[in-house]
């Protein structure tokens, strides 16, 4: 510590912890936690009015929607915020590797999704807690990485909004499985299907083979999305 209380340089895991602290403060002080809290409370409130017959199905849909908001949209908005305040340019001219920035963002947003899972499941679906936590773990980082890759070309929220809605529609396609429209194998090619399937079965221990397949596929999709986000960071954000 210097005489002004400034910290000494850190790297490795300590560095990632500092990245997370910075991200957490940014999210907290920009009011995103409050926004998430309000949205979660609204969802819980609405679902409490739904009948028992529809509730399990709707809870799964709401959780996927929540993961998408937390992952895809929040990652995009945070990035636009950093672009707007120019802090992203400052980071890209520091020794910080783009990968560490991406990992921190994914961890924070997944943590946020887990908090929402806890809240939703506590009120509406206690038996589905494990499935929803696992689903959040493979879905939120994937969506966050896709959100970063997608948003990197936009400079402002107004530019990003309309195209992002179109992407949102495509991302939601696996929900058709939940609605019973189709169980076709083609859905397994969609990156969100593993997360949806985990919610669909509800109890991961009851279907170990399906759970293992979904988790493996989910991790593969995360690695692919990580590669994509890294490439985009290098080429679009000039983060070598």
Partner 1 sequence: MIKVDDLSYTYPSGDNPTLHGLSFAIPEGEVFGFLGPSGSGKSTAQKLITGQIQPPADTVELLGRDFTAWGRELYNDIGVCFELPSFFLKLTGRENLDYFASLYPRLRSDRAEVIKLLGLEDALDQPVAEYSKGMMTRLGLIRALQHQPRLLFLDEPTSGLDPASSARVQDLIRRERSRGVTIFLTTHDMLTADALCDRLAFLIHGAISCVGSPRTLKQENGKDQVKVVYESDDGAEELLVDLKGLGQDARFQDVLRRRSILSIHSQEATLSEVFIRQTGVALE
Select from 41-49, 88-96, 130-138, 153-161 the region that touches partner 1 (CB under 8 A). Answer: 88-96
| Phi, psi angle pair for 237, to nearest 5° | -95, 0
- Sole residue written with tokens 């799964």: 60
Binds partner 1 (CB under 8 A): choice among 34, 54, 90, 212: 90
How far, in whole angstroms, is CA 122 from its chain's centroid?
Answer: 20
Alpha carbons 213 and 219: distance in angstroms, whole number: 10
- Tokens 């988790």 map to which residue? 215
Rule CB under 8 A: which of 17-36 touch partner 1? 18, 22, 25-26, 29-30
Asked whether position 93 contacts partner 1 by CB under 8 A, the answer is: yes
Instruction: Compute the distance between CA of residue 60 and CA of residue 173 in angstroms, rounded to an integer.
Output: 14
User: Mask: binding to partner 1, 35-74, rule CB under 8 A, as x and -?
Assistant: ----------------------------------------
Our finding on whether 231 is near partner 1 (CB under 8 A) is no
Torsion angles phi and psi, residue 105, rounded to 5: -60, -45
Nearer to partner 1, 136 or 237 (CB): 237
Q: Which of 38, 41, 87, 181 binds partner 1 (CB under 8 A)?
A: 87
CA-based nearest residue to 142, from 207, 70, 36: 70
Footprint of partner 1 on this chain (CB under 8 A)? Answer: 2-11, 14-15, 18, 22, 25-26, 29-30, 82, 85-87, 89-90, 92-97, 238, 240
């Amino acid at each position: 510590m210097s005489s002004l209380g400034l910290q000494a340089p850190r790297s490795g895991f300590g560095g990632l912890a500092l990245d997370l602290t910075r991200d957490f403060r940014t999210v907290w002080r920009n009011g995103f936690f409050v926004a998430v809290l309000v949205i979660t409370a609204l969802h819980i409130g609405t679902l409490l009015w739904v009948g028992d017959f529809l509730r399990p199905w709707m809870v799964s849909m709401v959780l996927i929607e929540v993961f998408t908001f937390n992952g895809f949209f929040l990652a995009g908005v945070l990035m636009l915020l950093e672009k707007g305040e120019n802090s992203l340019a400052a980071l890209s001219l520091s020794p910080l590797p783009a990968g560490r920035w991406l990992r921190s963002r994914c961890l924070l947003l997944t943590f946020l999704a887990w908090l929402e899972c806890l809240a939703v499941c506590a009120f509406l679906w206690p038996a589905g807690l494990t499935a929803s936590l696992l689903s959040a773990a493979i879905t939120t980082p994937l969506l966050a990485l896709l959100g970063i890759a997608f948003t990197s070309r936009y400079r402002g929220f107004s530019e990003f909004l309309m195209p992002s809605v179109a992407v949102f529609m495509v991302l939601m396609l696996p929900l058709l499985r939940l609605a019973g429209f189709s169980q076709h194998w083609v859905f397994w090619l969609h990156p969100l299907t593993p997360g949806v399937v985990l919610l669909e079965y509800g109890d991961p221990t009851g279907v170990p083979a399906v759970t293992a397949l979904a988790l493996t596929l989910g991790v593969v999709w995360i690695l692919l999305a990580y590669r994509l986000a890294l490439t985009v960071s290098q080429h679009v954000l000039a983060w070598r």
